[in-house]
Amino acid sequence: MEITKDPEIIYEDNHLLVVVKPQGIPVQKAESSNDDFQSLLKDYLKRKYDKPGNVFLGIVHRLDQPVGGVMVFAKTSKAASRLSEEIRQNLWKKQYLAVVDGIPREKKAVMEDYLVKNEEKNEVYVSKKGDPKAKFARLSYETLESKNGRSLLEITLETGRAHQIRVQLSSRSLPIVNDHKYNKNSKNISDIALWAYSVEIIHPVTKENLVFTKEMPENMKKLI
């Protein structure tokens, strides 16, 4: 995927760059891709501030390649270290919106699983507690709307495992619409109906509590 226009900036200061990640682009360079979001943002900063040489932009959290929405980057190594520590202490609040096939039995609930990633296939599956390769995963959700056999969920992510939301929902027969990896009924080429719409953090320098949001695109809302 090639991005030809400047990124959508939500917030920027000397320490942070908060942006809207487009769907379909990897956060960091992969062997199979010439474009990645981090490199595009570095190029944007280099042009904006007319900076010579390499530009620092630290990745402190990630979104899966098909997923779009709010992302926070660090513009200094000190900010990157402090933001990473906030994440380790579970001080961030990350919320997503997802359209799923199916209607949850409970309007609000918590999902807890142990997940294992198959690196060769780039797939994640649910395992059992005690599996030495498994990582604990937890999220909570609330059903905002249900109709025509689909539901719109607001999800609060409490751990940040690879493909976590997609796998936990799919394992409960609530696969995300247009998730070509974990929804066996996905047949078209549309973007996945999962959107990172809100991130709440503590500013790494001022210690101010900051909330950044970006509404789910209209084409996703129409899926329900």
What amino acid positions are annotated as catalytic residues?
Answer: 64
Three-state DSSP state, 81 = helix
What are the CA-CA distances from residue 81 to residues 74, 176, 206 (Å)? 9, 33, 15
Q: Which are the contacts of 117, defined by CB distance < 8 A and separation ≥ 6?
A: 123, 124, 162, 163
β-bridge mates for residue 72, sequence order: 18
Q: Which are the contacts of 49, defined by CB distance < 8 A and separation ≥ 6?
A: none
CA 81 vs. chain centroid, Å, equals: 20
Contact of 96 with 155, CB cutoff 8 Å = yes
Q: Is the dihedral of CA 51, 53, 59, 65 positive or negative?
A: positive
- Taking the CA of residue 108 as centre, how many other CA atoms within 13 Å lie in the half-sphere pointing to its CB? 2
Distance (Å, rounded) from C-alpha 224 to C-alpha 219? 10
Query: Cβ of 218: how many Cβ atoms within 10 Å?
Result: 7
Single out the residue of 172, 180, 67 nearest to residue 113, CA to CA: 172
Three-state DSSP state, 163 = coil
Q: Look up tokens 């990582």; give the residue.
A: 135
